[in-house]
Amino acid sequence: MVRMIDDRNILDKFCEDFCNIINEHCRYIIVSGFFAIASGRTRGTEDIDLIMEKVSLDKFKEIFSDLIKNDFECMHPKNPEEAYEYLIDKCSIRFTRKGKELPEMEIKFAKDLLDEMQFNTREKYKLTGLDVWFSSVNTGIAFKEELLKSPKDLEDAKHLRVVYAEKINDHEIKVIKQMIRKLRL
């Protein structure tokens, strides 16, 4: 079975619908490959990565309930208490539309000062055509070049550098890379 999703309309709607629910409850950012895809890079993906601020169990139950009411389901675990424990343990959970395998929204809780910095510098990018919060382009590039480093990630970073050339701040990227080395490597 081929699991790759390459229809931007499906991904865009899925992302906006999901993020609209999260946005009602807390801050979040979309990170990693979908930012490059939403910014015009042609490549497939099956998931969208979202970091949300750490919330209380009660607040998470509200979010989980709202997602379920709006036709999303958690792939595993199926109950909010167990899903919350996964997030607290720095693991991710995944949501899909009910009855669909793809696309997936992979969620993690913010875990350190680097994630807090990302919330404080998040942006909405007109080029994407989406009303969702993304990590800043400089942060996205730094993560892809310093932490992730796969060929796909390096191509994503190269694409972001071209498309957002006017927003690139190499000094800021260098500082973020230093933070990544200190906090994540």
What pLDDT was estimated at residue 23?
Answer: 98
What's the pTM? 0.93
Q: Going by CATH, does the domain composed of 8-135 fall within 3.40.1000?
A: no
Q: What is the pLDDT of residues 23-53, one digit of tens each?
A: 999 999 999 999 999 999 999 888 999 999 9
Q: What is the pLDDT of residues 151-185, one digit of tens each?
A: 999 999 999 999 999 999 999 999 999 999 999 98
What pLDDT was estimated at residue 8?
Answer: 60
Residue 46: partners with Cβ closer than 8 Å, 6 or more residues away = 3, 4, 5, 102, 103, 104
Per domain, the residue ranges of the chain are: 8-135
Strand locations in the chain, DSSP E? 28-31, 47-52, 72-76, 93-97, 104-109
